[in-house]
Chains A and B, each alone.
Chain A
């Protein structure tokens, strides 16, 4: 078994911020002929390398726009890095954008199946966990209502309940500990803490130093380069 859960090897991520968006064929041809296609290159991440050991709980700190979310999305596999590569050992559960893939015309019940399939669960697994999901989200009454009629808190409760059904090896959190009302918040924190105790590797983005101190045993600051911080 590998010692590391995540190996980030010299990862760079470039975005094209074109001044005017060229997305019509006519514009493209005219600009191409005039040789005017230019992009403002923007490197959100530049030569980032670090390793996360198995069982580490790493807090990721940094200013707005430092590339924290981009880094997590690269690790989760949503973005493919422009350069470098990420090696992951084990099953990743990214709690990044809860409910990505919900369809607003679908009912809660239908969305449980849809979102589960997006997360790569199998059908039999969802069947067996369906009642747990509904119970944890406390949406029994509304499960057959189209979720366009849900409040945003209800949606994230449902998303959280579905996403936390598996026991991951690597958990990626982007400030999702604040889901729903006070009561649900407590419950969701307890659930995540339960996962922490079972020894998963955690990557945790937060702006709250206190939270990072409480939850993590290591921390990095992302600011052009990676800085490891001692957590005490």
Chain B
């Protein structure tokens, strides 16, 4: 987990969007087994890691290769407006989805207007 370990990683492309009460992060990590995902909070940083199997099954001799066979890693800095204790993760068809709840004070408040 050191930043400068010299290990090579793929930085997965992400979409980040916001709803009224959540921040939703989607990260593409194709070819990763669900059991080899690691999601960690370290102070303000949220780490997502996808480890490839130690020994990938033999596919034969490579004729043409474009897929980099490294682990996936990405780090996000979380602001104070999120609730760090409420992060929900799911993994579907190679896409990791994190739902991070906003802190109460960051949620939009509906203001009741009293009509005279």
Are chains A and B native binding partners rather than an unrelated pairing?
A: no
> Which B residues contact A (CB, under 8 angstroms)?
none
